[in-house]
């Protein structure tokens, strides 16, 4: 079983690595996100279970740092505020858990990254639909296509793997690749005369 797991991951990473569309999407996302963050916009991210952990991993890299020191930027993982989550869940039901926070924190021009291995998570779909209606840019990280989340977002990367674990592992790889491109774009957009932090 261990060997099969590693083999499935190698196969999927190999397919993603040679997919020019995936590489182009990551570069486009990183460049766009750099512009949003540097002009005072923010990144929102959401997911359930392992995808929640991936969403929080992404936002922590943005507010903290990835490889090199740089200014912090605004990024929120929508599952991380347990008091808000439980209040919304209790008063409005599970499908509103992320959507209500999108309406509270999102502004036109912000970015929502929505993660779902199945692409069918009702609360993630509601968040993406609300974000789109409010003028946020919506990006999906999902499993195999076709799936509903990828179809309703402005853009998406669908991981062609049968196992949830493999999809989640590749999502982390994609998140790190996005952070790499983001940092490169932020450095390129630094105003003339502004020195990079030590």
- Binding positions for Zn(2+): 57, 61, 168, 176
**Contact between residue 30 and residue 113 where contact means Cβ atoms under 8 Å apart:** no
Structural tokens at position 162: 């049968």
Structural tokens at position 152: 């309703």
Closest CA to 54 of 185, 184, 170: 170
- Residues at the binding site are 48-50, 57, 61, 90-91, 116-118, 121, 168, 176
- Residues at the binding site for substrate are 48-50, 61, 90-91, 116-118, 121, 168
């Amino acid at each position: 079983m261990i060997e099969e797991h590693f083999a499935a991951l190698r196969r999927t990473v190999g397919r993603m690595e040679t997919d020019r569309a995936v590489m182009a999407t990551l570069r486009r996302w990183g460049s766009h996100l750099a512009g949003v963050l540097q002009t005072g916009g923010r990144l929102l991210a959401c997911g359930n279970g392992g995808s929640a952990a991936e969403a929080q991993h992404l936002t922590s890299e943005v507010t903290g740092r990835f490889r090199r020191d740089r200014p912090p930027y605004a990024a929120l993982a929508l599952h991380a505020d347990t008091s808000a989550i439980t209040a919304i869940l209790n008063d409005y039901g599970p499908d509103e858990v992320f959507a209500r926070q999108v309406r509270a924190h999102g502004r036109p021009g912000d970015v929502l990254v929505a993660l779902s291995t199945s692409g069918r998570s009702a609360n993630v779909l509601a968040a993406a639909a609300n974000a789109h209606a409010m003028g946020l840019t919506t990006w999906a990280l999902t499993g195999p296509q076709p799936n509903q989340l990828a179809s309703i977002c402005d853009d998406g990367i669908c991981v062609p793997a049968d196992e949830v674990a493999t999809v989640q592992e590749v999502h982390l790889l994609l998140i790190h690749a996005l952070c790499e491109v983001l940092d490169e774009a932020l450095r390129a957009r630094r105003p003339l005369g502004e020195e990079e932090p030590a």
